[in-house]
Amino acid sequence: MFNVLDVIKILFLFMQFCLTWNVYYSIIQGLGKTLQTISLLGYLHEFRGITGPHMVVAPKSTLGNWMKEIQRFCPVLRAVKFLGNPEERVSLKSNL
């Protein structure tokens, strides 16, 4: 499923996390950024006990795919789509 380059990218994300640096992870479309990010969050949850909260910022057009991929590849993660008008977002925030 993963090749060597994918593993290097996941290690890069993990090192950025360890250094407490925020990451802007935007490269050419179709290189597996979604699955690599979900893999990192799953690793942190399952093997490091770091359950979050974590925030992934993505284009509105891809939010449905993100939710579907998280449920498919790492259902142990609790994903919340933080989307809506200001009142809806306040309600979502209070339920986190």
CA–CA distance, 9 with 29 (Å, rounded to integer): 15
Q: What is the pLDDT of residue 66?
A: 92
Please enumerate in sequence order all residues whose Cβ is within 8 A of that of 93, keeping only pairs 6 or more positions apart, or say none: 82
Q: Is the Cβ–Cβ distance between 70 and 77 less than 8 Å?
A: yes
> Mean pLDDT throughout 90-95?
86
Task: For 15-53, write each residue's pLDDT tens digit.
Answer: 888 887 777 666 666 667 888 889 989 999 999 999 988
Q: What sign does the dihedral 88-89-90-94 (CA atoms) show?
A: positive
Residue 59's pLDDT band, with cuts at 50, 70 and 90, is confident
The total domain count for the chain is 1
Determine the structural domain holding residue 78 and report its residue range.
Answer: 4-94
**Statement: residue 96 has pLDDT above 80:** no
**Statement: residue 67 has pLDDT above 90:** yes
> Mean pLDDT throughout 51-72?
91
